[in-house]
Copies of this chain bind each other. A is one copy, B any other.
Amino acid sequence: MIPKDHPRYKSLVTREHLAGSARSGIVSWEGLISHGRGEAFDYLLGEKTSESACRAAKTAAALLRTARHPVISVNGNTAALAAKEIALLQKASGALVEVNLFHRTPERVDQIEVLLRAAGADVFSGTAERLLPLSHDRAFCRREGMYAADVVLVPLEDGDRCGVLVALGKKVIAIDLNPLSRTAKTATLTIVDEVTRALPLIAEACVSLTDEESRDLIVTLDNHTFLKEAQDEMAARLCHALD
């Protein structure tokens, strides 16, 4: 039991939820470590969405709205933290939702699909094939799903898969709290924000953006600037933290 008087009570409750999800098999052990990494960067962001990240989320919505075949790729951490937000974004964007795991077992895929469906998502399932040129199990995806996608949203992504998707000519939208990660640098567009804050912002913008606004956001998309702004935001907070 976490004592209610603990100064980091909320963050500890999220951690305990993730630990429970690891016990039940949804989250991998390594996924817990990734969450901790994200926590540190979110701390440097002041645990709130920056203006820059908000603009990045709108740009993500513009990419999803204008895509021919958009796909949202979901891993264990995303499902555990944000199944409901994924379902809502699917409704707003019309994207396919597909499970893709680094630590892949048929049981984990099933569990995560059940969790997503319970949250209201329509999961694109069926037989996955080893279609991506990767030496680990994130190579598996579905021919009519992610493999055919023109725009892929990858919350909480592993770096080398992001590179492979971009090399296949897809537009990749990452949600990553670390602006220096390989994923963040490789993606077409990176939203440097916490996943449960970012997903509803994208969903909102999918509904509210006009076609003209979407075009403008896509034409002016500059991922390096988004990353630089996130980095500057964190550096500024770090510089003054102990003053």
Q: Tell me the smallest distance from the CB of A94 to a CB of chain B, in Å.
A: 34
Q: Which of B1, B40, B232 contacts A37 (CB 8 A)?
A: B40
A167 at the interface (CB under 8 A from B): no
Q: Which of B36, B227, B242 contacts A40 (CB 8 A)?
A: B36
Q: Report yes or no: A30 in contact with B19, Cβ–Cβ below 8 A.
A: yes
Q: Report yes or no: A30 in contact with B15, Cβ–Cβ below 8 A.
A: yes
Q: Report yes or no: A33 in contact with B35, Cβ–Cβ below 8 A.
A: yes
Within 8 A of B (CB), among A217-241: 224, 227-228, 231-232, 234-235, 238-239, 241
A22 at the interface (CB under 8 A from B): yes
Q: Report yes or no: B238 in contact with A234, Cβ–Cβ below 8 A.
A: yes
Q: Tell me the smallest distance from the CB of A223 to a CB of chain B, in Å.
A: 11
| Chain A residues in the interface with B (C-beta under 8 A) | 1-3, 5-8, 12, 15-16, 18-19, 22-23, 28-30, 32-41, 43, 135-136, 159-160, 178-180, 182, 185, 224, 227-228, 231-232, 234-235, 238-239, 241-242
Q: Report yes or no: A231 in contact with B238, Cβ–Cβ below 8 A.
A: yes
Known contacts A238-B235, A239-B235, A242-B231: does B23 contact A29 (CB below 8 Å)? yes
Give 4 closest A-B pairs by Cβ, nearest first: A36-B36, A19-B29, A40-B40, A32-B32
In angstroms, Cα B175 to Cα A170, docked, is 44
In angstroms, Cα B227 to Cα A24, docked, is 39
In angstroms, Cα B176 to Cα A40, docked, is 13
Q: Which of B22, B37, B159 contacts A29 (CB 8 A)?
A: B22
| CB-defined contacts of A159 to chain B, threshold 8 Å | 7-8
Q: Which of B36, B135, B180, B182 contacts A32 (CB 8 A)?
A: B36
Q: Report yes or no: B33 in contact with A15, Cβ–Cβ below 8 A.
A: yes
Q: Which of B6, B16, B40, B239 contacts A178 (CB 8 A)?
A: B40
Q: Tell me the smallest distance from the CB of A219 to a CB of chain B, in Å.
A: 23
Q: Report yes or no: A179 in contact with B242, Cβ–Cβ below 8 A.
A: yes
Assuming A8-B159, A36-B36, A36-B39, what are 5 further A-B pairs, CB within 8 angstroms?
A: A16-B30, A19-B33, A22-B29, A22-B32, A185-B242
| CB-defined contacts of A34 to chain B, threshold 8 Å | 36
Q: Tell me the smallest distance from the CB of A226 to a CB of chain B, in Å.
A: 10
| CB-defined contacts of A12 to chain B, threshold 8 Å | 30
Q: Which of B16, B23, B36, B239 contacts A38 (CB 8 A)?
A: B36
Please name the residue on chain B nearest to A179 by beta carbon.
B242
